[in-house]
Amino acid sequence: MTLTVTMTLNGESVSAEVEGRTLLVQLIRDHFRLTGTHVGCDTSQCGACVVHMNGQSVKSCTVLAAQADGAEVSTIESLAENGELHPMQQAFKDNHGLQCGFCTPGMVMSALDLVANNPDPGEAEIRDWLEGNLCRCTGYHNIVKSIAAGAQAMRS
């Protein structure tokens, strides 16, 4: 059985026929071909699939596509404008907050949710917030620096 999901994806109204079991991340990646959102695990641990739904970060591997019906969803592809990186993206670049790049979209989307609620997070708060985002390359050192720098850039 299929059902129709209609949502706003990165500012555009879209709809698709999905199975009941289809996950939001599958809809984003496989149907709409926005492949910046990644799948790194099957237990909702790694956070590579974090997107924003109605302004909050969610793990899109843990949301059914059907649950996103009527929602506003934004992905990593929505951040840069006219080739200009968002200040948080720029901070990741400036501080070498990424290596292989696979966890990066989830990290950036998660960081933006943190900063939306806490514009000036300290190191311990950033490390605590990243509980749901795994990186195997950076040892987090430069991700923490990047998020602090991105938050500062967004404040100014």
Binding site for other proteins (CB under 8 A): 19, 21, 29-30, 33-43, 45-46, 48, 75-77, 79-80, 85, 89, 92-94, 96, 98-105, 108, 123-124, 126-128, 130-131, 133-144
Q: Which is nearer to other proteins, 70 or 87 (CB)?
A: 87
Task: For residues 52 and 102, give the distance between their C-alpha atoms in angstroms, rounded to a whole number.
Answer: 18
- Contact yes or no for 7/72 (Cβ under 8 A): yes
CB of 8 to other proteins, least distance (A): 18
Q: Which is nearer to other proteins, 7 or 130 (CB)?
A: 130
Question: SS3 string of 88-100?
Answer: HHHHHHHCCCCCC
User: Nearest to residue 106, comparing CAs of 152, 41, 151?
Assistant: 41
Task: For residues 39 and 111, give the distance between their C-alpha atoms in angstroms, rounded to a whole number.
Answer: 18
- Contact yes or no for 75/25 (Cβ under 8 A): no
CB of 78 to other proteins, least distance (A): 9
Task: For residues 67 and 4, give the distance between their C-alpha atoms in angstroms, rounded to a whole number.
Answer: 11
Q: Which is nearer to other proteins, 51 or 70 (CB)?
A: 51
CB of 149 to other proteins, least distance (A): 13
User: Nearest to residue 52, comparing CAs of 110, 103, 5?
Assistant: 110
Q: Which is nearer to other proteins, 57 or 75 (CB)?
A: 75
Q: Which is nearer to other proteins, 3 or 41 (CB)?
A: 41
